[in-house]
A and B are shown apart, each in its own frame.
Chain A
Amino acid sequence: MKKHPVQKIFGFLALTSMLVLFFASCNSNSNSPTSGVLGDDVASQVYVGPGEYDEFYGFMSGGFSGQISVYGLPSGRMLKVIPVFSQDAEKGYGYNEETKPMLNTSHGFIPWDDSHHPELSQTNGETDGRWIFINGNNTPRVARIDLSTFETAEIIEIPNSGGNHSSPFTTENTEYVVAGTRFGVPYPQADVAINSYAENFKGMLSFIKVDPNSGEMEIAFQVLLPAFDYDLAHSGKGKSHGWTFFTTYNTEEKSTLLEVNASQNDKDFIAAINWKKAEEYIAAGNYKEMPANYAHNVYDEETHMATSTMMKSVKVLTPEDCPGLVYFLPTPKSPHGVDVDDTGEYIIGNGKLSADLSVHSFTKMQEAIANESFETEIAGVPVLKFEDILAGVVEKAGLGPLHTEFDGRGNAYTSFFISSEVVKWKVGTWEVLDRAPTYYSVGHLMIPGGDSRNPQGKYLVALNKITKDRYLPTGPEMNHSAQLYDISGDKMKLLLDFPTIGEPHYAQGISADRIVPNVKKIYPIEDNKHPYRAMGEKDARVERDGNTVHVYMTTIRSHFAPDNIEGIKVGDKVYFHVTNLEQDWDVPHGFAVQGAQNAELLIMPGQTETLYWEPKSVGVYPFYCTDFCSALHQEMQGYIRVSPANSNIALKWGLGEEEDQS
């Protein structure tokens, strides 16, 4: 094929530019990621050899997948997807009878949510590796994941809320995780005209108390505020411990065309809540106990079952009745993230429609409050004066600042969505030190411990919203992209690109040694308190109660007991309660039966799980183990015989009996 002259020219240009690039990278210590091969060794910085462990765990929210994905850093290898708010057929989560109650809400069973912000528990302002919390945005909820098992342990629904976005950011000893409503909603919910928004709608901020031993959550109180949109939050630390800050937008209180209508005010607010004051008001009885209806779902590790309890009331604090509880800090302009630096002094408002970052001083805020220097009051909330509390402005740092984290060395890193970059600046002098492009349009960013009092500031992960051409194309839908930067030096250095699950809105990182020693390998079988457990093959049996049939089944390499079941009839409601008798690490067994309308079971050693099955027609149906458990895995199978509804075939079950010779 003859080459068109234009193609020749392009070919020549491509060749020369490659040569130029080659020599350029040989001669300079460029910041380009490709320099790894030729210049300084980027590849070895992210290379974690076979069988080696990563230095950090990274926990990424799944966004519209509703889950959390766990990555190793710096390698970017995916370790696990933890099912949280969405059913997961792979693990049977939300399909098996034990975990269905986890997804119960005041709206009934909700199989999906939009998970946004993972938040590690902290002790003395440091990530402690005990739990990770995450918010469900759509049907307002907060979940707690136990990091000894990497399983969802608890989910609590948030009443009087719509769009639980500013959540679940923790206080420095995990006294509380918070839940602020993104949408104003009628309070209490009612059939009202939407254009009566300013009059009938409210914004509720919830404080969820976390039990320091068990981790169990309880809504301690809610603060009733105007129907602004409460976007993000962070709690104070060190000197500002005792306060939690929420950003707001739509302080215009509009319900339609927010794109325009909620972008009119020059300044919106950061709502500062003095939660220690709130505790005093609660103790003094200065609250209203309001009727409510919300689910509290707890998974018990010994019964291997979740229970859902409907809670019927909540304590509500109103600023008018509680002076000193809330202050509004004017902040330009529709701020997204609110981030408190590691010293606890500076409160950064990331005004996403502004080119500047406004930084408030906690000390100045305290002085202004002491001097009662207020601009005005809105719904009983004093509004402080912008000039009084401003510590400084990071000027023209970029476009569309969203979120800031800290490295513990006096530097801050802000993501800029519109100009698609991470900008490093100096806390206190507000000067820009460095900037690095992101591919493309970074949302949140994450430094391990970067929102705690003691950041582990070695790496930064940018969580990008747009992927385009970063990987091999996979059709119109592309996974979102994350990027890892080395921030240990003066200049940020891009090390790695890796795809993620769903849309990670935010992430948390923690050095692995804070988690690894507590990770469980099995569930001790002797602790199994499941009401339908079978503690050995001697307990394996089938029981009928009317048209409900309970199969007490066990698994051990490489068979089910029983594996032949007869006497089941069309229309029966069959529960397979499968106990995995194994006590060795990483020996789960699966259970799948033909025609099941839910999913499979994936049962960990020592666990019991239950699959519901309704046989629809006469026949003999196979069941089998889905998880390749051993050399004889493919032999791990059985049959269940289904007879007509009116038949009188007796219940019969067995394992390893010789076949009928007659």
Chain B
Amino acid sequence: MKRIPQILMLLGTLCLLTLFVFPMWKIQLFAPQYPDGVTMYIWINKLGGDSPGTLQNVNILNHYIGMKYIEPDAIPELKYFQWIILGMVGLGVAAAFWNKRSGFLIWLILLALIGILGMYDFYLWEYDYGHNLSPKAPIKIPDASFQPPLIGTKIILNFVAKSLPHTGGYFFMLSGVLAAVAWWLKGKQKS
């Protein structure tokens, strides 16, 4: 019984490793002539789709409105974010072995900060793609917003765009929940 918080803390930490296996986020575009939808996945270190051609297909769509090409090589986050996660895994394991309530809390706060900053960063990229349009775009629609939704559903021209966390993202949240429960149980044990 006494070891439960420590085990939970360790489990929560290890949840982060799933980010190397599953995508964190999913963006889908639906339109009548795309009956299966166009599905893009954001991984911790790459962008992909449900087919090798997806990114190209999205870029072809985007170029009509002068949106920048989405080029994974030009997104530095895809290079360094994995190191942040690995660092958090290291810290989490250390906190679990240190087995102090304050250690759990510090880790939890760090994780929340990373989550919030990550979403803010995601928003900035979306804002950039949605607003930084080429003046030579073939199709210009004044006042139209092309920025994809941060989370949820939005209509962009002829498309319905849907943006939601994917498996990796849910594990990230689970990781925080487990750490929080560990911190809470640890507090109960003391009293």
Measured CB to CB, the residues of A under 8 A from B are 522, 524-526, 556-557, 581-584, 605, 630-632, 635
Q: Select from chain A the residue with minimum beta-carbon distance to B36.
A: A585
Name the interface residues of B138-187: CB closer than 8 Å to any CB of A. Answer: 138-139
For B60-72 the 0/1 string (1 means CB < 8 A from A) is 1001100000000
Q: Contact between A631 and B139 (Cβ–Cβ < 8 Å)?
A: yes
Name the interface residues of B10-56: CB closer than 8 Å to any CB of A. Answer: 51-53, 56
Asked, given contacts A556-B60, A583-B57, A584-B57, whether A632 binds B138 with beta carbons under 8 Å apart, the answer is yes
Can you sample 17 A-B contacts with CB below 8 Å? Answer: A522-B53, A524-B52, A526-B52, A556-B60, A557-B60, A582-B53, A582-B56, A582-B60, A583-B52, A583-B53, A584-B53, A584-B60, A605-B53, A630-B64, A631-B139, A632-B138, A635-B138
Q: Contact between B138 and A583 (Cβ–Cβ < 8 Å)?
A: no
Determine the chain B residues whose CB is within 8 A of the CB of A524 once the complex forms: 52
CB distance from B58 to the nearest CB of A (A): 10
CB distance from A348 to the nearest CB of B (A): 46
Q: Select from chain B the residue with minimum beta-carbon distance to A521.
A: B51
Interface residues on B, range: 10 to 19
Q: Select from chain A the residue with minimum beta-carbon distance to B33.
A: A586
Determine the chain B residues whose CB is within 8 A of the CB of A605 once the complex forms: 53
Determine the chain B residues whose CB is within 8 A of the CB of A631 once the complex forms: 64, 138-139
CB distance from B66 to the nearest CB of A (A): 13
Q: Select from chain B the residue with minimum beta-carbon distance to A632.
A: B138
Q: Total number of A-B contacts with CB less than 8 angstroms?
A: 28
Q: Select from chain A the residue with minimum beta-carbon distance to B61.
A: A557
Complex Cα spacing A552 to B138, Å: 26
Determine the chain B residues whose CB is within 8 A of the CB of A581 once the complex forms: 56
Determine the chain A residues whose CB is within 8 A of the CB of B139 once the complex forms: 631
Complex Cα spacing A526 to B139, Å: 31
Complex Cα spacing A581 to B138, Å: 21
Q: Contact between B56 and A583 (Cβ–Cβ < 8 Å)?
A: yes
Q: Select from chain A the residue with minimum beta-carbon distance to B55.
A: A583
Complex Cα spacing A556 to B138, Å: 15
Complex Cα spacing A524 to B52, Å: 8
CB distance from B6 to the nearest CB of A (A): 48
Measured CB to CB, the residues of B under 8 A from A are 51-53, 56-57, 60, 63-64, 138-139
Complex Cα spacing A286 to B53, Å: 55
Q: Contact between B64 and A632 (Cβ–Cβ < 8 Å)?
A: yes
Complex Cα spacing A555 to B91, Å: 51
Complex Cα spacing A583 to B55, Å: 10
CB distance from A631 to the nearest CB of B (A): 7
Determine the chain B residues whose CB is within 8 A of the CB of A632 once the complex forms: 64, 138
Q: Contact between A583 and B64 (Cβ–Cβ < 8 Å)?
A: no
Complex Cα spacing A635 to B51, Å: 28
Determine the chain B residues whose CB is within 8 A of the CB of A525 once the complex forms: 53
Complex Cα spacing A557 to B139, Å: 14
CB distance from B141 to the nearest CB of A (A): 13
Complex Cα spacing A605 to B53, Å: 10
Among B57, B60, B139, residue most surrounded by chain A Cβ atoms (within 10 Å): B60
CB distance from A555 to the nearest CB of B (A): 12
Q: Which of A526, A556, A557, A583 contacts B51 (CB 8 A)?
A: A583
Determine the chain B residues whose CB is within 8 A of the CB of A583 once the complex forms: 51-53, 56-57
Complex Cα spacing A557 to B57, Å: 10
CB distance from A528 to the nearest CB of B (A): 13
The 7 closest A-B pairs by CB, nearest first: A583-B53, A584-B57, A557-B60, A583-B56, A632-B138, A584-B53, A631-B64
CB distance from B80 to the nearest CB of A (A): 28
Determine the chain A residues whose CB is within 8 A of the CB of B52 once the complex forms: 524, 526, 583
CB distance from B79 to the nearest CB of A (A): 23
Determine the chain A residues whose CB is within 8 A of the CB of B63 once the complex forms: 557
CB distance from A582 to the nearest CB of B (A): 8
Determine the chain A residues whose CB is within 8 A of the CB of B64 once the complex forms: 630-632
CB distance from A472 to the nearest CB of B (A): 32
Determine the chain A residues whose CB is within 8 A of the CB of B56 once the complex forms: 581-584
CB distance from B52 to the nearest CB of A (A): 7
Q: Select from chain A the residue with minimum beta-carbon distance to B64.
A: A631
Complex Cα spacing A427 to B52, Å: 54
Determine the chain B residues whose CB is within 8 A of the CB of A556 once the complex forms: 60
Q: What 16 additional pairs, Cβ within 8 angstroms, besides A582-B60, A631-B138?
A: A522-B53, A524-B52, A526-B52, A556-B60, A557-B60, A582-B53, A582-B56, A583-B51, A583-B53, A583-B56, A584-B56, A584-B57, A584-B60, A605-B53, A630-B64, A632-B138
Determine the chain B residues whose CB is within 8 A of the CB of A526 once the complex forms: 52
CB distance from A447 to the nearest CB of B (A): 32
Complex Cα spacing A584 to B63, Å: 16
Q: Select from chain B the residue with minimum beta-carbon distance to A526.
A: B52
Q: Select from chain B the residue with minimum beta-carbon distance to A606.
A: B53
Complex Cα spacing A17 to B73, Å: 79
CB distance from B146 to the nearest CB of A (A): 16
Q: Select from chain A the residue with minimum beta-carbon distance to B57.
A: A584
Among A522, A584, A631, residue most surrounded by chain B Cβ atoms (within 10 Å): A584
Complex Cα spacing A526 to B63, Å: 23
Complex Cα spacing A522 to B64, Å: 23
CB distance from B40 to the nearest CB of A (A): 14
Complex Cα spacing A353 to B139, Å: 70
CB distance from B37 to the nearest CB of A (A): 12
Q: Select from chain A the residue with minimum beta-carbon distance to B53.
A: A583
Q: Select from chain A the residue with minimum beta-carbon distance to B35.
A: A51
Q: Select from chain A the residue with minimum beta-carbon distance to B60.
A: A557
Determine the chain A residues whose CB is within 8 A of the CB of B51 once the complex forms: 583
Determine the chain A residues whose CB is within 8 A of the CB of B60 once the complex forms: 556-557, 582, 584
Among B51, B53, B64, residue most surrounded by chain A Cβ atoms (within 10 Å): B53
Q: Select from chain A the residue with minimum beta-carbon distance to B136.
A: A656
Complex Cα spacing A581 to B57, Å: 11
Complex Cα spacing A122 to B22, Å: 41
CB distance from B150 to the nearest CB of A (A): 27
CB distance from B67 to the nearest CB of A (A): 14
CB distance from A516 to the nearest CB of B (A): 14
Complex Cα spacing A582 to B51, Å: 12
Q: Select from chain B the residue with minimum beta-carbon distance to A581.
A: B56
Complex Cα spacing A632 to B65, Å: 12
Q: Select from chain B the residue with minimum beta-carbon distance to A556.
A: B60
Among A525, A582, A583, A632, residue most surrounded by chain B Cβ atoms (within 10 Å): A583
CB distance from B30 to the nearest CB of A (A): 15
CB distance from B69 to the nearest CB of A (A): 12
Complex Cα spacing A635 to B139, Å: 13
CB distance from A224 to the nearest CB of B (A): 53
CB distance from A579 to the nearest CB of B (A): 14
Complex Cα spacing A583 to B50, Å: 12
CB distance from B112 to the nearest CB of A (A): 40
Complex Cα spacing A536 to B153, Å: 34
